[in-house]
Amino acid sequence: MSMKKLATPLALFTASALALTGCASNNPTSGAPAASGAAGALSGSISGAGASSQEQAMTAWSTGFKAVQSGVTVQYNSVGSGSGRKNFLAGQVAFAGSDAALKTDEYEASKALCGPQGAFSIPAYVSPIAIAYNLKDVKGLKLDADTAAKIFKGTITTWNDPAIAALNAGVTLPATKITVVHRSDDSGTTENFTDYLAQAASTVWTDAKAQKWPIAGQESAQGTSGVVKLITATDGAVGYADESAVGALGTAQVKVGDAYVGPSAAGAAKAVELSKPVGGQAANDLAVKLDRKPTDSSAYPIVLVSYHIFCNTYKDAATANMVKAFGKYVVSDAGQKAAAAAAKNAPLSAKLSADAAAAIDKITAAS
Amino acid sequence: MAAPEVVAPPLVAADDSRGRFGDSFFRTLTLAAGILIFGILALVSLYLIIESLAAITASPDKLSSGQPFWAYVAPIALGTLMCATIAIVLSTPVSIAVALFISHYAPARVSKPVGYVIDILAAIPSVVFGAWGMTTFGPGLVPFYTWLSQVCAPIPGLNQVFGTASTTGRTLLTASIVLAIMILPIITSQCREIFIQTPRLHEEAALALGSTKWDMIKATVFPFARNGIVSAVMLGLGRALGETMAVTLVLAPGILTANLIGVGNMTIPAEIALNYPEAFGMRQSELIAAGLILFVITLGVNMIARWIVSRYAEFSGAN
Amino acid sequence: MATNVIENGARANVLSSNTLPRWASAACIAGSAAASGLIFALAGWNTPLFAILAALLYLAAWTILNAAVRGGRHGSNAFWATLVWVAFFLALVPLVSIIWTVVSNGVRGLTTFGFLGSDMTGITGVQDQAAAAGQAGVLGGIQHALVGSLLITLVATLISVPIGLLTSIWLVEYSRGSWLARLITFLVDVMTGIPSIVAGLFAAGVLMTYFNLIGGGYSGGKQVMGFTAAIALSVLMIPVVVRSTEEMLRVVPNELREASYALGVRKWRTILRVVIPTAISGIASGVTLAIARVAGETAPILLTAGMATSTNWNVFKGWMMTLPVYIYQQLMRPTAPSAPDPSTQRAWGAALVLILIVMGLNLIARAIAAAFAPKTSGR
């Protein structure tokens, strides 16, 4: 019938189109030493799902891991932290990437899948969040938490407001209107940024931390790249975005202790190291409660920490071994450097890296 | 569910049993396809209802907004309707005109390539429309919005609709226009197919009576195509109601406001697409429930359209 | 087709009414443009406003001229004809702008060596940073997304076109307005309202339940595959196919069916040999629209087929990538956040490829339609 006849040329077209693409892949297996094929004893594939914040780092990790364990394929679907944790708890993926550690009820739920020890979270991806602004002639704007909160709340409306000028002696600030740009999608970046404002400027910023931006009536855009594009296109705009993506935009220095600190990888790693463990879950859980008001001015407090969530006990040994090897590679010096080179995020500090490796070593298989 | 109807007296008796089998087989086959659709939809509805029940029945303090579910969903439902309505109102007349242009006005050697280009446009992924709206079109509208806002400022009513202008052009009106451009090829393509099916005899009869071209179109093409136009517009509306990418990229969402050229408003599909990834537990259920509401809205709109069509049912060729 | 005959419509009355010379229209256009140009030359130039004013002036002048010289009917004829032309050019502006954006941005990506022949295996931010700094070419391609898109769309089409076509045949030819027909029409309408993300969630849920059942309560993510995505897309595609096909079958003149029945042809053969060939051009166009509708979907694919970086030819096993997901990912989350240009280039290249594919499908559909359409040479 006619549809069968329709299908034939359709298939032909498909085939010819595919033939066009059939030439050999010419990509480098980047980071892989020449000894490919020989490395590693494991083989198989593991899947992860979760936060899109660590997607670029994950690309670097799965590529780099090929050099360590050439037989293992790691794939990652950046469906978002919430969906990632849900998929993980439903046993759909071997690990989750998440901008937030497991919540208490999720930890309880994980015991069904991961044995009596449940699941645990490991900080794997640290990224400083910059306050980025578009003012042509102003470099290295200085802000304290209260002023930043007022700007983002919309109570300071022009750049030459006395409150900003007081912190930036000697800088000529324009009378441009401030356009605040936030993320229109729910995101871990927003949660960490509002957490900073809520903790460090608690008198001004009375909203609790949230994935959804709490202030109505401001400009917004989807995703980090959307925010950066919008700030870049709008004179006088200010917003928050991962420091790696802000490009040529100015980034504000925030007041830490008595000094002003700009976003940097080292500062971010320091802030995570200074933070306290959350505790209350699995013994090897390394989730941290970030300290947004450090007094040590080598720390930069607006930081996003994205976790990897693993099971303590996997059903089969093959998965357990692969997950263990991959998890340890990620937190290792090599893994963190590979991610930093690709995604320009902040590598974990040596101490945290060692703790994480020890925690991951506790993974076992049920059979 | 009557027995297969006898459409013509059998002329060749020997062929009869085979022919009858063919008829009943084909009829059953087509009916089975229809029932399959019923099954799929029953499953989808079941899935939607089960997943959203938790949010609809939950007490307000368990929901992310801290308000009852209906208070959460009503503004975004209204936003969806506003956005889709503007898009349809802008798009329909232009689409019909372009379809007429292709079928009746353009010279033959122009109309074919133009029709082809329109079909291709229907294929451009919405993320591309979104990217175009975000980087090119939205910012380009800012001066126009500023002007509109100034002109309308002293006029009561209009100064609510065209209030304070956005500085970035990321507004509901921009999103609606982008949607209008997106659904234009869909409506045009369907309308054109219907228009060129207008019986030639009708057209020639009208012309022979001394009609001008426009009189002829009014007298023959439009009555013939009325059902088809409504159906095409409904297809476009379905797309406009359900569109996510173009809206998420173009709109700076916010609370419901009558101001079309300022920050604010949100549509259900965009709300789902933006927030689903990071959602968990009750929030996910809330978003799926919002999807259920969109489902119901589309249903209502379609029922109205069917009702309109049924009033003109006598023009169907197959009744 | 139809245009050939009615092209002379306006001239059919040449003998019975006053006429305007052939150059009148051109003169009117020139006059309107000149008047508009003069105004904006004095008041400050603005190209869009100039075009709008010129069009309005022409609309008014041409209508009045026709009404005055040839009578009111011709005035309204001229008015509407002008509106149709203006609408056409109005619609052309944004559409051409979009096509231009895609083509001009996409050509560089498409013509990069290895773009079609390689996937994203091994491409990290390091390569992109090097490319952005000019130290290397832009690596990485869309092979995985191209394969995924073609296979998933093909499977979705194979599922939904027969179902959609058969359903619409039943609705138009057999149902005769029964309660079941009304119910199915109603359901198809409901289906057009399924948000695409819900279709994705639904397909993932159904297949997960299936694998849970056969896997003893543990699906292990086996349902993440191209076929699941194809099911999600079918849910979106079927209503579009039914709606457009139904409309096209309905406009097939009853005289044709009756003529066929009168010759003793069975109903099912009449449908296959007379009704469908007559409507095939519209059906093909509707199917193309349906394919185009789903070929650009992003959200349901992410939920059902995962996000692969390497090529996978097996629809029934393993993660897949599609072009829209690829475009979205490269545009919104560049491989190297600090150097997004190579990703942007790949994204536009992929968008161009996607459009070319649908163009190809459209051409094929039209060729099929032409091959099946009834011969019209005798008319």
Nearest to A64 by CA among A361, A328, A364: A328
A contact test, residue of B280, B282, B283 with most A CBs within 10 A: B280
Q: How far is A297 from chain B (nearest CA, A)?
A: 32
Selected residue of A1, A2, A13, A62 to mutate for chain C interface (largest C Cβ count, 10 A): A2
Query: What is the average pLDDT score of chain C?
Result: 83
C68 belongs to a structural domain: yes
**DSSP track, B138-158:** HHHHHHHHHHHHHHHTTSTTH
A251–C contact, CB cutoff 8 A: no
Nearest to A75 among C219, C306, C337 (CB): C306
CA dihedral B260, B265, B268, B274 (to 10 degrees): 120
Which range is least confidently modeled, B90-104, B301-315, C190-204, C287-301?
A: B301-315
The pLDDT value recorded for residue B7 is 52
Residue C32 has pLDDT above 70, yes or no: yes
Per-residue pLDDT band for B313 (boundaries 50, 70, 90) equals low
DSSP codes joined into one string, B49-96: HHHHHHHHHS-GGGSTTSS-HHHHHHHHHHHHHHHHHHHHHHHHHHHH
With 80 as the cut, is the pLDDT of residue A278 above it? yes
Q: B258 versus A240: which is more confidently predicted?
A: A240
Contact A275, A299 (CB under 8 A): no
Alpha helices in A45-156 (DSSP H): 55-68, 81-89, 104-114, 145-153
Q: How confident is the model at residue B318 (pLDDT cuts 50, 70, 90)?
A: very low
Asked if C125's CB is within 8 angstroms of A56's CB, the reply is yes
Judge whether C189 lies within some domain. Answer: yes
A141-164 tens-digit pLDDT: 999 999 999 999 999 999 999 999
Contact between residue B44 and residue B37 where contact means Cβ atoms under 8 Å apart: no
Q: Report how far Cα B274 is from the mean position of its chain's Cα atoms.
A: 21
| CA dist list (Å): C92 to C95, C153, C160 | 5, 29, 32
Q: Is the pLDDT of residue B253 over 70?
A: yes
Residue of B nearest to A103 (CA): B280
- Proportion of chain A above pLDDT 90, given as a percent: 44
Q: Are C343 and C335 in contact (CB under 8 A)?
A: yes
Radius of gyration of chain B (CA): 24
Is A335 at the interface with chain B, CB within 8 A? no
CATH for C212: 1.10.3720.10
Chain A: closest CA distance from residue B217 (Å):
33
Integer Rg of chain C from CA: 27
Q: Do B277 and A188 touch (CB under 8 A)?
A: no
Cα separation of C61 and C77, whole Å?
13
Q: What angle do CA B186, B190, B195 make, to 5 degrees?
A: 140
Judged by average pLDDT, the poorest of A34-43, B196-205, B286-295 is A34-43
Q: What is the DSSP letter of A182?
A: E
Predicted confidence band of residue C376 (pLDDT cuts 50, 70, 90) = low
Burial of residue B159 (CB within 10 Å: 0-12, 13-18, 19+) is: middle
Q: What is the pLDDT of residue A163?
A: 92
pLDDT at C217: 65
Amino acid identity for residue A135 in this structure: L
* The pLDDT value given to residue C5: 44
Name the pLDDT band for C2 (thresholds 50, 70, 90): very low
Provide the shortest C-alpha distance from residue C168 to chain B (in Å).
Answer: 8
Q: Which residues of chain B are within 8 Å of residue C2 when distances are taken between CB atoms?
A: 103-104, 195-196, 198, 200, 203
Q: Which of A297-311, B74-88, C296-310 has the lowest mean pLDDT?
A: C296-310
A338 inside 8 A of chain C by CB:
yes
* One-letter amino acid of A201: A
pLDDT value at A51 more than 50? yes
A11 in C contact zone (CB under 8 Å):
yes
Interface of A with B in 39-98 (CB under 8 A): 52, 79-83, 85-86
Decide if C30 is inside a domain.
yes
Domain end, chosen from C53, C88, C110, is at: C110
For C119-139, how does the pLDDT look when each residue is reduced to its tens digit (9 = 90+)? 888 888 888 888 888 888 888
pLDDT value of position A123:
93
Segment 121-140 of chain B within 8 Å of chain A by CB: 134-135, 139
Most trustworthy range by pLDDT among A156-160, B43-47, B188-192, C99-103: A156-160
CA of residue C202 relative to chain centroid, distance: 25
Task: Name the minimum distance, in Å, from the CA of A89 to any CA of chain C.
Answer: 11
- How many beta carbons lie within 10 A of that of residue C141, not counting itself? 31
Contact C247 B10 (CB under 8 A): no
> Chain B within 8 Å of A216 (Cβ-Cβ)?
yes
Looking at the complex, report in whole angstroms how far the Cα of residue C96 sits from the nearest Cα belonging to chain B.
Answer: 9
With a cut of 80, say whether residue C49 has pLDDT above it: no
Instruction: State how far the alpha carbon of B261 is from the alpha carbons of B172, B285, C28, C46, C149, in Å.
Output: 7, 32, 36, 22, 37
- What is the pLDDT, as a whole number, of residue A204? 92
What's the farthest any 2 CA atoms get from each other in chain C? 86
Residue C15 lies inside a defined structural domain of this protein: no
Candidates C123, C284, C334; nearest CB to A27: C123
Angle at A16 between CA A12 and CA A18, to 5 degrees: 115
* Contacts with A187 (C-beta within 8 Å, 6 or more apart), sequence order: A53, A99, A211, B278
- Quote the CA–CA distance of B54 and B64 in Å, as a whole number: 13
Last residue of a domain, one of C110, C133, C157: C110
Model confidence at C223, pLDDT cuts 50, 70, 90, reads: confident
C116 part of a folded domain? no
What does the pLDDT look like over C333-346, one tens digit per residue? 888 888 888 888 99
CB contacts < 8 A (A, C): 181
Type of residue numbered A40: G
Kindly state the average pLDDT of the residues A302-329.
92
List chains touching C (3+ CB pairs under 8 A). A, B
| B312: confidence class by pLDDT, cuts 50, 70, 90 | low
Q: Which of A20, A60, A222 sits opposite C332 (nearest CB)?
A: A222
On chain C, the residues whose CB falls within 8 A of the CB of B94 are 87, 90-91
Same domain (yes/no): C106, C148? no
- Among candidate residues A102, A63, A50, A75, the one with its CA nearest the CA of residue A341: A63
Residue A4 has pLDDT above 60, yes or no: no
Q: Which residues contact A116 (CB under 8 A, 6 or more apart)?
A: A313
| Chain C residues touching B114 at Cβ < 8 A | 88
Which tokens in the block code for residue A174? 């324009």
Phi and psi torsions of B45, nearest 5°: -60, -45
What percent of chain C lies above the pLDDT cut of 70? 92
Average pLDDT of span B222-243: 85
Q: Output the 3-class SS for A250-303.
A: EECEEEECCEEECCCHHHHHHHHHHCEECCCCCCCCCCEECCCCCCCCCCCCCE
For an interface test with C, which of B24, B30, B96, B110 has the most C Cβ atoms less than 10 Å from its Cβ?
B30
- Give, as one character, the DSSP assignment of residue B4: P
- Classify residue C333: in a domain, yes or no: yes
Q: For residue A229, what is the nearest residue in chain B, using CA coordinates?
A: B135
Predicted pLDDT of residue C1: 41
Alpha carbon A9 to chain centroid distance?
46
* Same domain for C182 and C73: no
Q: Which residues pair with A238 in a beta bridge?
A: A133, A180
> pLDDT: is A191 or C52 the higher one?
A191
For the record, the structure tokens of C98 come out as 């979009």
The per-type count for chain C, helices as H runs and strands as E runs, is 15, 0
If DSSP codes are grouped into helix, strand and coil, which group holds residue C340?
A: coil
Suggest the residue from C112, C126, C298 to mutate for an interface test with chain A (most A CBs closer than 10 A).
C126
Judged by average pLDDT, the poorest of A64-78, B180-194, C172-186 is: C172-186
Q: How many CB atoms lie within 10 A of CB B175?
A: 31
The percent of residues in chain A predicted with pLDDT above 70, rounded, is 89
pLDDT at B58: 80
Give the domain-ending residue among C67, C90, C110: C110
Among C32-46, C148-162, C259-273, the range scoring the smallest mean pLDDT is C32-46
Q: Are residues C84 and C175 in the same domain?
A: no
The closest CB to that of B263, out of A99, A217, A229, belongs to A217
Encode pLDDT of A181-234 as tens digits.
Answer: 999 888 889 999 999 999 999 999 998 888 889 888 888 888 888 899 889 988
Contact at CB, B139 and A187, closer than 8 angstroms:
no
Smallest Cβ distance to C249: which of B44, B48, B318?
B318
CA C91, CA C87: separation in Å to the nearest integer? 6
Paired strand residues for A364? A313
What does the alpha-carbon distance between residue C187 and residue B37 come to, in Å, rounded to a whole number? 8
Q: Tell me what the mean pLDDT of segment A67-85 comes to.
A: 88
SS (H, E, C) B221-274: HHHHHHHHHHHHHHHHHHHHHHCCHHHHHHCCCCCCCCCCCCCCCCCHHHHHHH
Distance CA C250, CA B215 (A): 25
Q: Which of the listed ranges B265-274, C2-11, C70-79, C158-167 does the model predict with the highest average pLDDT?
A: C158-167
Find the mean pLDDT for residues C220-242.
89
- Of residues B141, B143, B165, the one with CA closest to residue B153: B165
pLDDT band at residue A27 under the 50/70/90 scheme: low
Backbone torsion region of residue B154, taken as left when φ is above 0, otherwise alpha when ψ lies between -120 and 50, otherwise beta: alpha
- Segment B283-302 mean pLDDT: 86
Sign of CA dihedral C3, C5, C7, C13: negative
Residue C9: inside a domain: no
**pLDDT grade, residue B16 (50/70/90)?**
low
| DSSP string over C253-306 | -HHHHHHHHHTT--HHHHIIIIIHHHHHHHHHHHHHHHHHHHHT--HHHHHHH-
Most confident stretch, A217-226, B20-29, B171-180, C65-74: B171-180
| Structural contact between residues A188 and B278, judged by C-beta atoms closer than 8 angstroms | yes
Whether pLDDT at B89 is above 90? yes
If you average pLDDT over residues B276-302, what whole number do you get? Answer: 84
- Name which residue leads in pLDDT, B61 or B186: B186
Neighbours of C352 (CB within 10 A): 21
Most confident by average pLDDT, A57-66, C88-97, C176-185:
A57-66
Q: What class has domain B75-315?
A: mainly alpha
**B211 touches B261 (CB < 8 A):** no
Summarize the confidence of residues B154-175 as an average pLDDT: 83
Instruction: Report if residue C378 sits inside a domain.
Output: no
Q: Is the pLDDT of residue B225 over 70?
A: yes
d(CA A334, CA A354): 13
- Is the pLDDT assigned to residue C84 strictly greater than 50? yes
CB contact under 8 A, A184 and B252: yes
Contact C303, C197 (CB under 8 A): yes
In sequence order, which residues have a C-beta less than 8 Å from that of residue A161 and are 6 or more positions away? none
Whether residue A343 is predicted with pLDDT greater than 50 in this model: the reply is yes
Q: Is the same domain home to C197 and C268?
A: yes
DSSP letter for A102, please.
P
User: CB distance from A166 to chain C under 8 Å?
Assistant: no
Exposure string (b/e) for A46-59, b if CB count within 10 Å is 16 or more? bbbbbbbbbbbbbb
Q: How far apart are CA B52 and CA B295, in angstroms?
A: 12
CB C327 within 8 A of CB B127: yes
Domain that holds residue C155: 143-372
**C351 and C202 together in one domain:** yes
Torsion of CA C203, A79, A190, B75, to 10 degrees: -10
Question: What pLDDT is attached to residue A29?
Answer: 46
ipTM above 0.85, yes or no: no
Asked whether C306 and C320 are in contact (CB, 8 A), the reply is: yes
Q: Does residue A350 register a pLDDT over 50?
A: yes
